[in-house]
Each structure stands twice: as C-alpha cells, then as structure tokens.
C-alpha cells in the first residue's frame, strides 16, 4: 500500500490515518465484520468512526467522535447499537442522532469516499440527512 504523494485532495479532503499518522487502506478496515465501527483520524485529526456496511463497503457517512454535549470521546456499543458517552450519559443511535441527553445535537458528519483503496474524508456542508436541515456545524 503506497499512499499518494499528496494527502489532501482538490476538494480539501484528507486521507484517513491511524493513530501514528499513517494512511489506512480501506482494505484493512473492510476485512472486518459488517457493522464494525473503525476509528480513524479524519479532518484536522478528529477521531472519526467509519462503518463497514453489509455489502462490504464503507458507509459514505462518517461520524465524528466528539460528544456534542461537552466534547468527550465515546465508544460504540455493538450490543445496544449506540454510541454511548461515558462522561454524562448521552446516547446516540447508529447514525449519530441523539437518543438520550444531555446532548441535544446530533453528532457531526463527514463524507467518506474510497478511491483506489485510499479513504478520503471531507467536510459535510450539505443538508444533514438525519434532520433534513442545514448542519449545525456549518
């Protein structure tokens, strides 16, 4: 796996990287079971969850691991199918919508695109499909 010379694309996207800053090939994540949430470093190094779909591709919607209450990071709970924040108990569904507060805004989204096994992360500026509204982070 040879990362491209540039790690930023024309649209301002960045390559998904691991903890030590190396680009992660999509194939490395896609060997995992469907439903897996894989944590990568995305835009500005923000920890971001990628989802392996049932058809063996990556979900084009990445979820930023930053609780909208006070910014804690949180694990994915595969049994409850929720992101569960350990700080004050907020819970989010698999798409990042709030199921229980104190958080009151959905988790931030990013675009996820795979090209030649590289995973590109770019900012989500369009309507938030979960709310049908302009995203709160834009």
**DSSP secondary structure code for residue 101 in this structure:** S
H/E segment holding residue 39: strand 37-41
26 membership: H or E segment, kind and range: helix 26-30
> In terms of CB distance, is 39 or 72 closer to ligand FES?
72
Q: Helix, strand, coil proportions of the chain in percent (round to 5)?
A: 5, 35, 60
In the set 3, 46, 57, 69, which binds ligand FES (CB under 6 A)? 69
Nearer to ligand FES, 39 or 87 (CB): 87
Segment contacting ligand FES (CB under 6 A): 1-9, 11-19, 53-61, 82-90?
82-90
Please count the other Cβ atoms lying within 10 Å of the Cβ belonging to residue 3: 14
Site string for ligand FES, 86-115 (x = CB under 6 A): -xxxx-----------xx------------
Stretch that binds ligand FES, among 32-40, 83-91, 104-112, 117-125 (CB under 6 A): 83-91
Contact by Cβ (8 Å): 67, 73? yes
Q: Give min distance, CB of 59 to ligand FES, in A.
A: 22
């Amino acid at each position: 796996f040879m990362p491209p010379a540039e790690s930023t694309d024309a649209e301002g996207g960045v390559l998904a990287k691991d903890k030590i800053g190396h680009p992660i090939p999509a194939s490395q994540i896609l060997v995992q079971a469907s439903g897996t949430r894989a944590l990568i470093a995305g835009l500005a190094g923000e920890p971001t969850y990628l989802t392996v779909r049932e058809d063996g591709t990556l979900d084009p919607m990445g979820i930023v691991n930053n609780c909208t209450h006070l910014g804690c990071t949180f694990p994915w709970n595969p049994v409850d199918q929720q992101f569960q924040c350990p700080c004050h108990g907020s819970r989010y569904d698999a798409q990042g919508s709030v199921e229980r507060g104190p958080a009151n805004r959905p988790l931030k989204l990013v675009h996820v695109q795979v090209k030649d096994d590289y995973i590109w992360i770019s900012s989500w500026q369009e309507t938030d499909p979960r709310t049908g509204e302009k995203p709160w982070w834009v």
